[in-house]
Amino acid sequence: MSWAGKILRVNLTSGTVKSEPLNMQWAREYIGSRGLGSKYLVDEVDPKVDPLSADNKIIWATGPLTGTMASTGGRYTVITKSPLTGAIACSNSGGYWGAELKMAGWDMIIFEGKSPTPVYLSIVDGDAELKDASDLWGQSVWKTEGELKSRHQDPLLRVCSIGKAGENQVLYAAVVNDLHRAAGRSGVGAVMGSKNLKAIAVRGTIGVGNIRDPKGFMQVTAEKKKILAENGVTGQGLPAYGTQVLMNVINEVGGLPTRNHRDVQFEGAKDISAEAMVTPRESDGKKHLVTNQACFGCTIACGRISKIDEGHFSVKNKPEYWGANGGLEYEAAWALGAANGVNDLEALQYANLICNEEGFDPISFGATIGAVMELYEIGALTKEQIGIDAKFGSAEALCQFADMTASGEGFGKEIGQGSKRLTAKYGHPDLSMSVKGQEFPAYDGRVIQGIGLAYATSNRGACHLRGYTIASEVLGIPVKTEPADSEGKPELVKAFQDATASFDSSGLCVFTTFAWGLADLAPQLQAACDESYTTEELEKIGERIWNMEREFNNAAGFTAKDDNLPKRLLTEAAKTGPGKGSVSKLAEMLPKYYDVRGWDPEGRPTADTKKRLGL
């Protein structure tokens, strides 16, 4: 088994909470977390629904390996229709909250409707009830967690919540758990806010005790942990430097998008890199990085815990930010730094703290600031309109923008709409570095061809985590492919997308895939759940999930035209680095990708494909 076998259905309109058995056939076919939660969403929600209306639903889902001793088995996913993209949203988070939900005996929570007043859901094992959150509304994520622990007199409570950004429906608002882990992308926090749902507080004491073959499971998970420990990336690079190990690497390959993707290398990369985080600061002689931290069950421990420079302008006289706190991951450091030309590590950390405290995605936020700075530079936005001097490279502007976006005041309200809406409003839609309305992460699709295709075809808009071809194209995992080559990339992208969908659905972290393939995941799922989870079966399930998500998006109104990249990546060649002179070869790759996927030229899964996948 290893599924709890129960889901919690919460109707926020009527205030009712009830338990339902998990659909075990779907569990078998879609595993859990991303796949299974999406299956429920697709089955229950009209793809054309207004994402911020009461008719949208929002689902928290764990996987069968969540809450087990499989390494990284602590993850959960938030699934809904995204207000940022209009596509299916599926945001994954670590920390401890997901495992706690599973330990309380629940695979999933489905919220429907909209509460007339602010509420939070309290879960203690089998008991779940909605409680008044009027006095928590307007509070940050951090204050909400502290307040709920003290209100319930339970220091062991685990909390996920939204801050002001979710309440104000910032279109890329996040759901944050355990203070600084986040289901970060696509605005799942805005949907939570639109439903007047402030938080979910969970205490689970039952545990996970229904592993199919406990002895076999303990043995195989121990073997697989050994592989992670002995791998250079998961055993050494990530624990020591975190994902930030990539900053200098990606800059060197000339794939670090800089100043709203005008450049592909950032002269300040070294100042905001992993190496900078462990070098004593000139100002106070202390290192920025305090330690690494694991999420639940994780034997990699890539998380960063940092201490900001107390003398930095952003936190002067603000001692509440001086303690150890969630530090910069690569994507955040890139979006808050290189994307805006800001090389002040402490300013990046301040903006990152605000993103965690009030719950919004640093990638979309940072990339939107990049667009604002470019609009400012070309004169499409003025200081009078913005309220501040917004030059590329301004650390002061970055910090002020973070505050404005968190509070929703002044120009912050417009930043909270994301780059697509903002650039369109000011007459330059081409300056939004996004796909389907979601901003790019930290790799340039001109120089690294596969990731460009992965962005264009990602089911949740631009995203590196749906098919992380960087592993192959830059790091050589599992085999090295050339970043500049477009040949073979459609097949590579499909393979990564399908495998990732299975990993995401298991309840484990995709970072294990630096060392593991599906052949390593399969025996763990077999021991925990069901013998039928072979490597081949997991490939097929991943593909099934991918096509199911695609069908939802197609029904929502997306077409082949939306599998596109901004004009800049297709026409403005990279100016420097090993990829100098290159643009994305998307037009070459996309038809081939549709073909490999078994889709028609309009990007629709054919009847044969659907039949083959059991859709």
Closer Cβ to another protein, 54 or 218, answer by number: 218
Closer Cβ to another protein, 49 or 227, answer by number: 227
Closer Cβ to another protein, 48 or 318, answer by number: 318
Distance CA 400, CA 438 (A): 23
**DSSP letter assigned to residue 452:** H
Give the x/- contact pattern for another protein in 236-265, rule: CB under 8 A. Answer: ---x--------------------------
Closer Cβ to another protein, 280 or 557, answer by number: 280
Distance CA 148, CA 453 (A): 44
Residues 6 or more apart from 166 whose CB is under 8 A from it?
Answer: 173, 174, 175, 189, 190, 192, 193, 359, 360
State the nearest-atom distance from the C-beta of 453 to another protein, in Å: 35
Is there a contact between 183 and 90 (Cβ–Cβ < 8 Å)? no
State the nearest-atom distance from the C-beta of 204 to another protein, in Å: 7
Closer Cβ to another protein, 208 or 499, answer by number: 208
Task: Tell me which stretch binds another protein (CB under 8 A): 45-53, 186-194, 288-296, 387-395.
Answer: 288-296
Closer Cβ to another protein, 214 or 581, answer by number: 214
State the nearest-atom distance from the C-beta of 264 to another protein, in Å: 35
Burial string for 243-260 (b: 16+ CB within 10 Å, else e) reads bbbbbbbbbebbbbbbbb
Closest CA to 60 of 87, 36, 30, 31: 36
Distance CA 91, CA 93 (A): 7
Amino acid (one-letter) located at 208: V
Closer Cβ to another protein, 229 or 424, answer by number: 229
C-alpha Rg value of the chain to the nearest Å: 22
Across-strand partners of 288? none
State the nearest-atom distance from the C-beta of 216 to another protein, in Å: 14
Binding status of residue 67 toward another protein by CB under 8 A: yes
Task: Tell me which stretch binds another protein (CB under 8 A): 67-75, 247-255, 381-389, 561-569.
Answer: 67-75
Provide the 10 A C-beta neighbour count for residue 382. Answer: 10
Across-strand partners of 88? 81
Binding status of residue 234 toward another protein by CB under 8 A: no
Q: Which helix (H) or strand (E) holds 11?
A: strand 6-11
Closest CA to 584 of 494, 450, 416, 468: 450
Residues 6 or more apart from 215 whose CB is under 8 A from it?
Answer: none
State the nearest-atom distance from the C-beta of 461 to another protein, in Å: 32
DSSP per position, 531-588 = TT--HHHHHHHHHHHHHHHHHHHHHHT--GGGS---HHHHHS---SSTTTT----HHH
Provide the 10 A C-beta neighbour count for residue 539. Answer: 17
Task: Tell me which stretch binds another protein (CB under 8 A): 299-307, 336-344, 367-375, 567-575.
Answer: 299-307
State the nearest-atom distance from the C-beta of 202 to another protein, in Å: 12
Distance CA 359, CA 354 (A): 8
Q: How far is CA 431 from CA 262, 334, 441, 564, 579, in A?
A: 10, 18, 15, 14, 22
Among residues 225, 460, 464, 494, the one that binds another protein under rule CB under 8 A: 225
Closer Cβ to another protein, 207 or 614, answer by number: 207
State the nearest-atom distance from the C-beta of 209 to another protein, in Å: 3
Among residues 298, 353, 499, 613, the one that binds another protein under rule CB under 8 A: 298
Task: Tell me which stretch binds another protein (CB under 8 A): 275-283, 285-293, 346-354, 573-581.
Answer: 285-293
Among residues 49, 240, 305, 615, the one that binds another protein under rule CB under 8 A: 305
Residues in the chain: 615
Closer Cβ to another protein, 203 or 464, answer by number: 203
Sign of CA dihedral 411, 416, 418, 424: negative
Q: How far is CA 159 from the centre of its chain?
A: 18
Binding status of residue 227 toward another protein by CB under 8 A: no
Burial string for 345-359 (b: 16+ CB within 10 Å, else e) reads bbbbbbbbbbbbbbb
Site for another protein in 106-165 (CB under 8 A): 156
Among residues 294, 347, 435, 527, the one that binds another protein under rule CB under 8 A: 294
Closer Cβ to another protein, 145 or 439, answer by number: 145
Binding status of residue 68 toward another protein by CB under 8 A: yes
Site for another protein in 77-96 (CB under 8 A): 96
Binding status of residue 325 toward another protein by CB under 8 A: yes
State the nearest-atom distance from the C-beta of 189 to another protein, in Å: 22
Distance CA 290, CA 322 (A): 12
Closer Cβ to another protein, 60 or 96, answer by number: 96
Site for another protein in 165-224 (CB under 8 A): 179, 203-209, 214, 218
State the nearest-atom distance from the C-beta of 415 to another protein, in Å: 29
Q: How far is CA 433 from the centre of its chain?
A: 17
Closer Cβ to another protein, 96 or 468, answer by number: 96
Closest CA to 486 of 438, 536, 519, 451: 451
Among residues 293, 419, 500, 547, the one that binds another protein under rule CB under 8 A: 293
Q: How far is CA 76 from the centre of its chain?
A: 11
Amino acid (one-letter) located at 414: E
Among residues 297, 467, 490, 605, the one that binds another protein under rule CB under 8 A: 297
Closer Cβ to another protein, 67 or 416, answer by number: 67
Among residues 56, 82, 260, 299, the one that binds another protein under rule CB under 8 A: 299
Number of residues that bind another protein (CB under 8 A): 36
Closer Cβ to another protein, 216 or 488, answer by number: 216
Closest CA to 584 of 596, 597, 573, 595: 573
Closer Cβ to another protein, 69 or 560, answer by number: 69
Distance CA 424, CA 420 (A): 6
Give the x/- contact pattern for another protein in 9-48, rule: CB under 8 A. Answer: ----------------------------------------
Binding site for another protein (CB under 8 A): 67-69, 71, 96, 103, 156, 179, 203-209, 214, 218, 225, 229, 239, 290-299, 301, 305, 307, 323-325
